[in-house]
Amino acid sequence: DSLVQSQARELSLRRQQIKDGHGICVISRQHMNTMIKAFEELLQASDVDCCVAEGFQEQLNQCAELL
């Protein structure tokens, strides 16, 4: 009986950790999207070489996909 209770507590803890991790990912994704938009605006407003800007944009998008 105590083994079952111990496993139930462990399962509950793991579920909470998964839920917390998901919440962190959602917040990180929101921040990444905000950052991408800010960099897009900066790149459009500056005299950065088009190829450099596109490469930087692609790297930002790849980072966002990881989240």
Q: Which residue, among 65, 63, 62, 60, has the nearest Cα to 38 in the 3D structure?
A: 60
Residue 23 is predicted with a pLDDT of 94
Condensed to tens digits (0 to 9), the pLDDT of residues 33-45 reads 898 889 888 888 8
Residue 20 is predicted with a pLDDT of 96
Residue 53 is predicted with a pLDDT of 82
Residue 14 is predicted with a pLDDT of 97
Low-confidence ranges of the chain (pLDDT < 70): none
Judge if pTM exceeds 0.85: no
Residue 10 is predicted with a pLDDT of 96
